Amino acid sequence: MQIQVRVSEEGALRNQRHAFTDRYTLASELLQNARRAGAVRIDIDYDPTTRRLRIRDNGRGIQDFQKLLDFNESGWDEATKKHEHPFGVGFSKCLYAAQRCIVRSGDCYVDFLTADALARKPIDVHLEPHGPFPGTLVELYGVDLPDLPELREHMRSLCIGFPVEVIFNGGSLDRPYAANRLESVDTTVGAVHLAGTLSGKHSTETMVFLQGFRVLSPRAYSPAHVNIVHLDPERFIARLPDRHTLIEERDQAKRVNAEIRHQWRAVLEVAKFQLPPRQFVDRYTGAMRAFGHLDLLNDLDVLPRGVCARISGYPIQTTDSVYHFLDEDIEPPTRQDIDDGRVVLVDLDNVDDGNAAHWMFARAKGFLAVDPYMLHEGHWIYGRIRKLCDQTLGLEPVETQERARFEGCWTAADLVLCAAVRLRIGEEAVDVVDDAVHHGGTVFVPGGETTGQAVRQLSDYVDGNDQFRDYEEAADIDAFADLVRRLRSVDPRQTLTSLLRELKLERYPVLRGKAFRLIVDGQADAHSIELIG
């Protein structure tokens, strides 16, 4: 007993109508045929009232009408077959999308009902009565397509990268991504156009075309700022039958991205040779970072902007990815300034309970915070960065004035009021006089502190549900500032009035009109209150 592959011709014809992705495939297949025939202009007209679709091109025309109805056997010449891998099923879409089909080309024409063709009835080929017909005209009747606005938008989207001029219902379709309209370079994957090669304003979004039609597209992109790749059809094959997607799409996308990265390398190497270092770094650092070429900075003495930042604000705990107390909009230091010690670079961990004082030390000393991970691991800057949080920090209050306890809505800490806070690492020391410093569970409050922002060195005010507790933060800031102000007050009457205001004693009728004698002790349970009237 033996078995062999058999093909049910009736079943194949019956099921072929379900092979195409959507009804728009009819237009793309006819456009593709016209392009392969060498057309330089294609006219498409659709009348929704009569449901007639006409496609006319000025290409070489049809040499053998039988090829129109040959399924899975391409009628193109050997060069086209080798270069584009035609499937031989494109025209078959007409048989399923229309009721009647007329095709004119050269000396001949056919006019038939598609049901007859699918029933495999012989179709007569007629001679043109008025002489040769230039190019090819396909007329389809009984075609169901969307309303004109929707159809026009689809045709516009379909043809944005098509190499041949397309006229739809009398209007030329814009083709901004056609290969002949872009400055491209030939590569191992095809013609590649990179956005931003002169300005450095690169794009990581890439639109990919095969034989004029889009096969890969980013979800979101700027139409005027996107990389364009026209794939080599000899190296890439789209999925049968309508070529909407690539075979092994993920692998092919990686291959395209690798080529874009490679082409950017070539662009950057030329720019590095031609431009002054500062101009090259300012213009192309973003592209180097995006495409993995930061090593090109390793032998340059200038640093990219944004690598170094001045600690311009008060360091606080935060879950934000951006530290708003850092000012990155500074002129990067030169390598000479760093080597000579005029500029000190420090690498600081995220602000937390254990390193807020290190941040305050760096700020007071004028050190620049640096993010070395923005550079290649072989960059010279790595040997010139101090890991400040790894160094032991000493703190002492200068002229201690008062000690107290702060109990807020969200945080609590011991307080030490003083004239200044002296921070020391090794032989280096600096006095902080205007801002509180949290260290070792205690907040040291110098004379210039009035804001209450010190509570943000105690906590980031984010709860277990990752929600920012803005009410508690605001309440703690106010309470901290009020406590410090009262502790520093030299007017007893003013201090007591401030405290009474918070107690809102007017709410209690039993107290209204009463007079008391109050003696305040150093201990909470030792105060003396006497009713005197």
Q: Is the dihedral of CA 18, 22, 24, 27 positive or negative?
A: negative
Contact between 88 and 74 under an 8 Å Cβ cutoff? The reply is yes
- pLDDT reported for residue 452: 94
pLDDT of residue 16: 59
Single-letter code of the amino acid located at 119? A
Cα–Cα nearest to 17, from 113, 147, 86, 118:
118
Q: How many CB atoms lie within 10 A of CB 48?
A: 14
| Predicted local confidence at residue 83, as pLDDT | 59
Q: Write the DSSP string, 90-129.
A: TTHHHHHH-SEEEEEEETEEEEEEHHHHHTT----EEE-T
Give the model confidence (pLDDT) of 421-480 as tens digits. 999 999 999 999 999 999 999 999 999 998 999 999 999 999 999 999 999 999 999 999
pLDDT at 394: 96
Please report the pLDDT score of residue 11 as a whole number.
58
Query: CB-based contacts of 45: which residues, under 8 Å, 6+ apart?
Result: 52, 53, 54, 168, 169, 170
Tell me the average confidence (pLDDT) per consecutive run of 10 residues in the chain, 533 residues long. Answer: 69 56 74 89 94 94 86 60 55 84 94 90 91 92 87 93 95 95 95 96 96 90 92 83 76 95 98 97 97 97 96 94 91 95 95 95 97 92 94 96 95 96 97 96 94 96 94 96 85 65 72 77 76 74
Distance CA 416, CA 399 (A): 10
In angstroms, the Cα distances linking 186 to 194, 231, 266, 521 are 12, 10, 13, 88
9-172 classified as CATH 3.30.565.10: yes
* CA dist., res. 200 & res. 195, Å (int): 8
Residues of the chain with CATH 3.30.565.10: 9-172
For residue 380, give the 3-state DSSP assignment: helix
- Distance between CA 54 and CA 29 in Å, rounded? 13
The H or E element that residue 310 is part of is strand 308-311
For residue 425, give Cα distances in angstroms to 53, 357, 367, 441, 486.
Answer: 82, 11, 13, 19, 33
On the 0-12 / 13-18 / 19+ scale of CB atoms within 10 A, 190 is buried
Q: Which two tokens stand for residue 398?
A: 């200068």
Please give the pLDDT value at position 90.
60
Q: Residue for token digits 């049901």?
A: 115
Mean pLDDT of the chain: 88
